[in-house]
Structure 1
Amino acid sequence: MMKILLLEDDKILCDSLREFLELEDYCVDVAYRGSDVFDLTFKKKYDLYILDVNVPDVDGFDVLSSLREAGDETPAIYITALTDINSISKGFEIGAEDYVKKPFDPEELVIRIKSKYQQEDTLLYHGDICYDPINRVVQKNKQTIGLGEVQQNILHTLMVQQNKIVDSYTLMDFLEQPSANALRVNLTKLKNKLGIDIKNIRGQGYMIENL
């Protein structure tokens, strides 16, 4: 589970962000003051820092600068209402990897976290097939394979539920003109294009088994 340290002095925003992130299965510790970050990082190692800038005691820029000077290379994202180019530039110069301007949708923050810091953890494999479910990119032997929307949706559903039977009606929902025959045609094309084994579980549906 990814461990995140969130620095935000607005307690309502901080608590709501923590709840949202925890719903995404992140482990979140919070700090309301800059100096609290030093206490927490002394006791525990984190996978990601999410830092506001204008916080009491020690501002977010100085917090990250001190951590970097101490050899802490933990990835960091700034969340701040500061939108001038000098502030943004300063944040990146100190060592932040990303910068989210307030106000923002918490879902945007989650998308950035998943795409930047969890890609390796979320990649799915099946033989020589590598599938990125976040960006919906499929590779075979490290070569990107283009798929149409229908086959892309079918592959996504089967890959994220490997070793589980997906009923035929769920897969047929992706078709413009749903039918068992049309589904079989698309599955055959998908198998031929990727060389992937999609099993037909008679009377139940289809599945991709873990190798």
Structure 2
Amino acid sequence: MKKHILLLEDDYELAQTLQELLEESGYSVDMVHNGNDAIDASYDNKYDLYIFDINVPDMSGLELLESLRNADDKTPAIFISALIDLNSISKAFEIGADDYLKKPFFPQELLIRVNAKFSQAQEEIIEYKNLQYFVSKKELYIDEKIIPLGEVQECLCDTFMRNIGNVLDKSILMDCLLQPSDTALRVALSKFKNLTGVAIKNIRGVGYILEKS
């Protein structure tokens, strides 16, 4: 699955150049040119990385990232800016930026930093049939679309996806329930199977197993 990047840059020519370079390198890039469009895009989509200019219309890149961080959005962010004063750079890192690239720069330098960021953030991904489970984020995707999981379903998903092919004792699965009981477990497992389309087999008297595909 391609890494999804939101690029905010009001210089149309530079934005186009960066978008083409990143897409040629295998990334999926949404390009916007003002703060309001960036806010809308960030709320409508899930991104793996933000690349923000600072001096853009509507709101600055600094204000944008600060509002996202206040909304508990922890998506990594790289600033690209002509501002080279220490106050701007300090503010950028203070509000949660991961990197700061001063303009002018060679587009290839941004690509190097993006590649480095993703190589640092490599995480375990468990694939099962048409499912992808991102272990550290506890996020489940079906056919590359994220599936919202409640607390119980998230726990069951994590437990089964980490133990594909292993029989799980009922007591382990009970720990996922808010009010453990045999009935509650059956209901939760039924919901999980309907949500994901996977077949969980009951080994009578032993436990449950998500069999290897």
**Fold agreement, TM-score > 0.5:** yes
Corresponding position of 1:34: 35
Residue 115 (structure 1) shift: 1.4
**Counterparts of 1:132-151 in structure 2 under 5 Å?**
none
**Pair 1:109 & 2:110 matched:** yes
Q: With structure 2 as the length reference, what TM-score do the two structures score?
A: 0.56
1:61 and 2:62 equivalent? yes
The letter for the 2-side match of 1:15 is Q
Which residue in the other structure is 1:79 paired with? 80
Taking the aligned partners of 2:13 and 2:43, their CA distance within structure 1 comes to 26
Give per-residue Cα distances to partners, 1:10-61, cap 9 Å, x unaligned: 1111111101111101000011000111111111100000000000001100
Superposition pairs of residues 121-132 of structure 1, within 5 angstroms: 121=122
Counterpart of 2:9 in structure 1 is: 8
Structure 1 stretches of 5 or more lacking a match? 123-211
Unaligned runs of 5+ in 2: 124-213
Which residue in the other structure is 1:20 paired with? 21
CA distance in 2, matches of 1:118, 1:110: 12
> 1:20 aligns to what SS in structure 2?
helix
CA distance in 2: counterparts of 1:12 and 1:120, whole angstroms: 30
Q: Deviations over 1:80-122 (max 9, x none)?
A: 0000111100000010000000011111111111112224649
1:90 matched to 2:91? The reply is yes
Within 1, Cα distance between the matches of 2:21 and 2:45?
Answer: 22
Distance in 1 between residues matched to 2:71 and 2:110, nearest whole Å:
27
TM-score by length of 1: 0.56
Partner of 2:187: none
% of aligned pairs identical?
A: 55
Give the direction of change, closer, same or farther, for the CA distance of 1:73–1:29 in structure 2 (3 Å limit): same
Whole-angstrom distance in 2 between the partners of 1:110 and 1:38:
23
**Aligned partners of 2:121 and 2:86: how far apart in 1?**
32
Cα distance between partner residues in 2 of 1:120 and 1:51: 19
Alignment partner of 1:118: what SS?
helix
